[in-house]
Amino acid sequence: MKRVLLMVMCVVMFVAANPVKNGYEVGDVATDFKLKNVDGKMVSLADFKDAKGYVLIFDCNTCPYSKAYNQRIIDLNEKYSTKGFPVITINANEGSGDSYSEMVRIANKKKYKFPYLYDESQETAKAYGATNTPHVFVLTKDLKVSYIGAIDDSPSNAAGVTKRYVEDAVDALLKGASVPVTKTKAIGCGIKWKRA
Amino acid sequence: MRYPIAFLFTCLSISLFAQKTEQIKLKDLQHIITTPSDHIQVFNFWATWCAPCVKEIPLFEKLNQENKAVDITLVSMDFDLDPNPDKVNRFVARKNLQSKVVILAESDPNSWIDKIDKNWSGALPATLVINTKTGKRKLVQKELHEGDLEKLIEEVTN
């Protein structure tokens, strides 16, 4: 019994001494996922055979920043899916307003032409290190993280944008150039994590 | 009849909007963060639109009542989406907040979030607890629950 206890303590100490890495940094290679889309089908990045990369956006139904950016996310997909960078959105939020059925309702109402995936376990959001909504990860075909951050520099007003971070990143990748700004931060709604 | 209504409206306006929330700049906030004080400094970054922020505010109000050795600053981040302070003023009046409330009136958060704390993603709610004498600080980027604040204060005190 004592030995078991000692072993348990060792494991606990090992885990405590090795905190899980806090998501991806630019340059890391991300892992694919398999999550349920609003149409009921499971979706992975690998499903997009012709993609040259991905605009992965952690988003939600309820956040005022997500609402402010909703049309800009739809526009990003319009502009870049045909160029080989489809938009893929993921909702990891806990709470009734962010339920799967609400996701389905919003995706239908807004006529989403891109996946809106339900990260119920929050494992994907944690693996990527997503913190806000919307929080963008631009990935190359081989899942190299090339940009992390905000869509642009003017959440309140699309007309006031001076820096289009995501567009600049994707445009650079399409040209085979280096991404000009690889990381930005923004005020936003924290992802609503399950209480540990 | 028009005048009494106008009078009533004026009275109501004064009582509701009398309290104007102070608008500060980043350098003002940095000044409080870096000035040595005998009091532990607690900053809560919140916004009127942020449901978990609104939910945890009573914890700061309670601490403000109970622990006079702690300075609490509720820093509204509403400016980014809505530079008009009316909503914050109304919120402060409606909730009858007793803690110090300020509005951080700065645009382009990407240029200054790191200057508040380089570990902060910018997500709300966020709480920063600082012992300005030792430089010890704790940043929490999620909703706080009963007892969490007291633990954070203890951690930076010792």
Q: Which residue of B has its CA nearest to A162?
A: B108
pLDDT for residue A2: 60
pLDDT for residue B155: 96
In a domain, A148, yes or no: yes
In a domain, A33, yes or no: yes
pLDDT for residue A21: 60
How far is it, in rounded angstroms, from Cα A88 to Cα B74?
36
pLDDT for residue A196: 75
Interchain pair B81, A64: CB under 8 A: yes
Residue whose pair of structure tokens reads 């009127």 in the numeric block: B48
Interchain pair A190, B82: CB under 8 A: no
The sheet carrying A116-118 orders its strands as A42-43, A35-37, A116-118, A87-91, A53-58, A135-140, A145-149
pLDDT for residue B26: 97
In a domain, A37, yes or no: yes
List CB contacts (< 8 A) between A193 and chain B: 142
Exposure pattern of A153-184 as b/e (b: 16+ CB <10 Å)?
bbbeeeeeeeebbbbbbbbbbeeeeebebbeb
In this complex, how many residue pairs, one in chain A and one in chain B, have their CB atoms less than 8 Å apart?
Answer: 61
A93 touches chain B (CB under 8 A): no
Q: Is residue A127 scored above 80 in pLDDT?
A: yes
pLDDT for residue A17: 47
A161 touches chain B (CB under 8 A): no
Interchain pair B108, A186: CB under 8 A: no
Q: What is the CATH number of domain B20-157?
A: 3.40.30.10
Q: What is the pLDDT of residues A51-107, one digit of tens each?
A: 999 999 999 999 999 999 999 999 999 999 999 999 999 999 999 999 999 999 999
In a domain, A4, yes or no: no
In a domain, A195, yes or no: no
Residue B36 burial (10 A CB sphere; 0-12, 13-18, 19+): exposed
List CB contacts (< 8 A) between B110 and chain A: 149-150, 153, 184-186
Give the range of the structural domain holding residue A118, as residue numbers without chain letter: 25-190
In a domain, A87, yes or no: yes
pLDDT for residue A1: 56
List CB contacts (< 8 A) between B122 and chain A: 131-132, 185-188
Q: What is the mean pLDDT of residues B136-156?
A: 96
Of the two residues B154 and B4, the one the predictor is more confident about is: B154
A188 touches chain B (CB under 8 A): yes
Residue whose pair of structure tokens reads 């081989």 in the numeric block: A142
How far is it, in rounded angstroms, from Cα B2 to Cα B8?
10
Give the closest-approach CA distance of B82 to chain A in angstroms: 7
Give the domain CATH number at A153.
3.40.30.10
Q: What is the pLDDT of residues B55-106, one digit of tens each?
A: 999 999 999 999 999 999 999 999 999 999 999 999 999 999 999 999 999 9
What total number of domains does chain A contain? Answer: 1
Domain chopping of chain B, boundaries: 20-157
